[in-house]
Amino acid sequence: MSSKSSTVETGPRRALVAGATGLVGGELLQLLLASAEYQRVHLVQRRPLGVDDPKIAEHVVSFDELASLDLGDRITDAFCALGTTIAKAGSVEQLQKVDRDYVRDFGELAARTGVERFAVVSALGADPKSINYYNRTKGEMETLLAELDLPSLRIFRPSLLLGPREERRPKEILGAVVLGGLSPLLMGPLRRYRGIEAARVARAMYATSLEDFPGVRVFESEEIQGY
């Protein structure tokens, strides 16, 4: 897996985004709308986002129906920031449906449009063989996307995401407080466990979309911290 990159030379770009109502997705959407590189931003949503911008083409649809969705446009860059919690999903099976199956379906949708670059938010510790259901789900998701043979798959594995959320997540709030206090002590190999601002992850996804990373490229949390 090569870490070499070069600047991508392209014409006007069209983005496809899933998860724009979330922490990372919301930050990423603002970057795409402000960017002169992108002339159109397609959003796949379960409910209207409520953002009025001439760049946006919103597709309100059940994620169970992605196989039949026609965007009517060729996509150059797809960004996936889908994710849920066990508390919100209600069961491990439902979490897997969102974090693994819907992400795969979104990848298939992007592939049908001829996407050139696909970026996805995974998680630190993602491993299809993990005994932890969350890390295992993320690892299985990564494997399924890799099997699509996308021209360029960029996988981002952040540590605990920091930033304001619409919904309260007590465990994540506690984790943010603990990691916030410990972060200065996490050095060397432990640096990857530092909490990371969602805005920084979004910046990494956007910035690397302007670079050429053929094949599969994984960005671990400590590398994302550099953006």
Tens-digit pLDDT profile for residues 122-156: 999 999 999 999 999 999 999 999 999 999 999 99
* Cα–Cα dist 135/120, whole Å: 15
User: Would the pLDDT of 209 be above 80?
Assistant: yes
What confidence tens digit (pLDDT) does each residue in 59-94 have? 999 999 999 999 989 999 999 999 999 999 999 999
pTM of the model: 0.87
With beta carbons less than 8 A apart as the criterion, state whether 224 and 200 touch.
yes
Degrees to nearest 5, angle at CA 106 with 128 and 223: 55
pLDDT band at 164 (very low <50, low <70, confident <90, very high): confident
User: Catalytic residue positions?
Assistant: 134, 138
Q: Which CATH architecture fits 13-160+198-220?
A: 3-Layer(aba) Sandwich (3.40)
Phi, psi at 57, each rounded to 5°: -120, 110
pLDDT at 12: 86
Q: What residue spans define the domains of the chain?
A: 13-160+198-220
* Cα–Cα dist 10/202, whole Å: 21
Check residue 20 and report its DSSP letter.
T
